[in-house]
Every structure is written in C-alpha cells, then in structure tokens.
Amino acid sequence: MSSHDSDVAIGIDIGGTGIKGASVDVRTGVLISDRIKVPTPRGARPDDVIEAVCTLFEQLSHDDIEHAPLGVAFPTVVKHGVTMSAANVSDDWIGLEAEKLFEEALSRDISFLNDADAAGLAELRYGAAKDVDGVTLMTTLGTGIGTAILSDGILIPNVELGHIEIDGHDAETVTSNAAREREDLSWKSWAMRLQRYYSACEVYLSPDLIVVGGGVSKHHESFLPLLDLNAPIVPAQLRNNAGILGAAVRASEMHPALV
C-alpha cells in the first residue's frame, strides 16, 4: 500500500433502520468511496445484522483497502467487545460477544464501539466539537437518542442519557425524532419536549457545548432556535456520516493500516 493508503480506514454504522459504510481518509474526514447503505433487517437479530454487514462490506471491498482498518459502530452499550443493552435492536444482543462474531464473519480485526460514541469522536476530530474546551454533550436524534460526552477532547464511553426519565417516561420514547414523526408533532411541540430533555441534561452535566446530530439536524433552524439553554446548542456538522467517520477514526487509532 502507498503512504496515502495508510490514512484510509473503513467505517460501518449500524442504525435502527439502516446500515451505512464507506472508506474514509482519516486525515481529512472525507469519504473516499461511495456511501453504501443496506436496510437493517427487521427485528435486528444478531445473525441477520451480521449477514447484512457482510453484504455491505463486500460492496466496499477492493484491493486498495484490503488491509485498511475497519470500525463498526453499533446502537448499544459496548464493553470489551460485548453488547450490553438492546434499546432498538433484538434482546438477543444482550451479553453477546458481538465484536468477536463480527470479526469471525468478516475474517479481520475490527474496532467495535457505541454509535453515539462514534458520532462524538467524529465531531471531536472534524466537526462542531473540534478544539472545544470543557465538556461537550453530543446527542443524536433518530430512532432513539444517542449521547456521548467529550471532556477536554477525551471520550467518556457508553453514556446512555437518552434513557433518563422525563415526565415519567424514558426520554427517547417521547423525545426522539422517531417520536416526532410517529406523533406528527409540529416543530414547536417537539421543541417543548427537547427543552425539557436538554434542561435535564444541563442539570446533570453543566456542559459547555451541546451538539445535535442525526438526520433531523439538517432542519436545525426549525427547532434549535426555539430552545433556551445555558450552554450553546449547535447542529452537528457531519450529520449522517458521523457514525461512519467516527468508526473509521477509532479503527485507525486501534489498528493502524498494514503498509
């Protein structure tokens, strides 16, 4: 591989509705291949998800990235390669040695991490949280609410603030973008729920910055200005590519390319 290729890593982002992947230049945070997307299998059971990831990876594979590091972001708590929760996937993932199963299926080492943590790493390296001092709260509003905490540039992994209790409910069940779509909420009505959620997060964390990601962040002008918080709240810059980029960054750090 050339010296340029040593800066290439692959990121795969597994979400509640879709699985996305691409090759990334980790120096610049630019996708250097087409972004491939396949649906997340109904029920999101382990064997089905692993098979879908293998299908996606085959579409990404070519000679130039044969030895590129591979990172996989997944929507559960991940500790030492084991998936410890299952908010928006099958309960069969709980306690599963998922990293090992993906490595066996893909026949290569991978770096495996929580999807919101991956998004946080991407925004830290390339986006809205770059060079920010203090505590940044990264949130992804999608099927659920993913959260990541960055403290002076260091990721604190597996923080599940999407599940704090708000008005007697698990926050993400009433405040996620999926809840907005399901209930056909106006931006104003949804912003009222977001206000309660982010105000609670401020009580717990006193963040210096809040970053809002997920696909809905492209409509940030419709709801972020309606929020009144102590910390600045800004849209993520990397949107739906954040998980891919963050997974690739982690992989490049943990498994440098073979040259």
Q: In sequence order, what DSSP letters do the residues of 8-61 get, joined into one string?
A: EEEEEEE-SSEEEEEEEETTTTEE-SPPEEEEPPTT--HHHHHHHHHHHHHHH-
Band the pLDDT of 133: cuts 50, 70, 90.
Answer: very high
Kindly tell me if the per-residue pLDDT of 15 is higher than 90.
Answer: no
Domain count of the chain? 2
- What range defines the domain where residue 161 resides? 131-236
For residue 125, tell me if it sits in a domain. Answer: no
* Over residues 85-109, mean pLDDT: 93
pLDDT, residue 157, reads 94
- Whether residue 97 is found in the same domain as residue 138: no
**108, 116 Cβ separation under 8 angstroms:** no
Spatial distance between the Cα atoms of 31 and 245, rounded to a whole number of angstroms:
8
CATH of the domain at 202: 3.30.420.40
pLDDT in tens, 144-201: 899 999 999 999 999 999 999 998 999 999 999 999 999 999 999 999 999 999 999 9
Which stretch of DSSP H or E encloses residue 139? strand 135-141
Q: Are 157 and 117 in contact (CB under 8 A)?
A: yes
Same domain, 223 and 250: no
d(CA 5, CA 12): 18
> Which pLDDT belongs to residue 259?
43
79 and 144 share one domain: no
* 123: in domain: no
Higher pLDDT, 222 or 4: 222
* CA–CA separation, 212 and 206 (whole Å): 16
Yes or no: say if 150 and 120 are a contact pair by the CB < 8 Å rule: yes
pLDDT of 2 strictly over 70:
no
Alpha-carbon dihedral angle through residues 256, 40, 81, 129, given to the nearest 10 degrees? 60
Distance CA 127, CA 123 (A): 4
In percent, the amount of the chain with pLDDT more than 90 equals 84
